Structure 1
Amino acid sequence: MRVSHTAVIERNGRFDTHFATEPYEAGWAGEARWFLRVASATGRWAVQTEISPDGHHWCAHGEAVRFDAPGLYTVGVTQFGGWLRLAAHPEQGEAHLHAQVYLTLKE
């Protein structure tokens, strides 16, 4: 039987500039998936997984997901090492985002 875990990383977060979630140690997992439930959004946003060997120094990993409307968006992650976080930024001009972020992990 596989082991799985779901963590609520951001609950009702409100953002209007670049942000990154708190680091999450996930070295035990073989795969991960971010879920971003957007309640409201203005402007166009890009979200992307960032990975780290130590939880302090980060690099982008995989493709960014772009959106400009409420909905449920997801980013899958494999071959990521020990630490994960989700980074987001508006692609241009003023933008606002109200969302929840979940991280699901499987061994």
Structure 2
Amino acid sequence: MMRQFHAAAVERRKYFKGEISSHPMEAGWAGEAIFFLIVEELKGKDARVNAFVEISADGINWIREGAAFPVIDQPGHYFCKVSHFGNWLRINGEISGQNAEVKASVHLHLKS
């Protein structure tokens, strides 16, 4: 049987301040997921991004799943894998530092 695969650009080159939060995605059919966080710009003194995966029963109320990105303090490509998540997934996190701002894209790859 052929495995199913889906790649979604959840956020594209978006500016975030204070919080980074992606649109939620329904992924209940998939057995595994990989979030990619592509940071193009990170501005501000001591700017850092602490991002993590969240799950939800209803797509409205969110709980930290446990998987997290490394602390991001420079532009680059980062990823985070998840394998037990129910149906709803998203990335959430805090942007810290003086006048901190990040320009980032979020991609989600799902596989059955």
- Per the normalisation by structure 2, the TM-score is 0.89
Q: How does 1:2-21 map to 2 (within 5 A)?
A: 2-21=3-22
Structure 1: tracts of 5 or more residues without a match: none
Cα shift at 1:92: 4.3
Deviation digits for residues 48-69 of structure 1, max 9, x if unmatched? 0000011011000123221110
Counterpart of 2:82, as a letter, is: V
Counterpart of 2:51, as a letter, is: V
1:104 equivalent among 106, 109, 112? 109
- Per the normalisation by structure 1, the TM-score is 0.93
Q: Distance in 2 between matches of 1:101 and 1:92?
A: 21
Q: Distance in 1 between matches of 2:82 and 2:96?
A: 22
Partner of 1:47: 51
Structure 2: tracts of 5 or more residues without a match: none
Q: Structure 1 vs Structure 2: percent identity of aligned residues?
A: 41
Partner of 1:85: 90
Structure 1 window deviating more from structure 2 (86-95 vs 56-65): it is 86-95
Structure 1 window deviating more from structure 2 (54-63 vs 70-79): it is 54-63
Is 1:24 aligned with 2:25?
yes
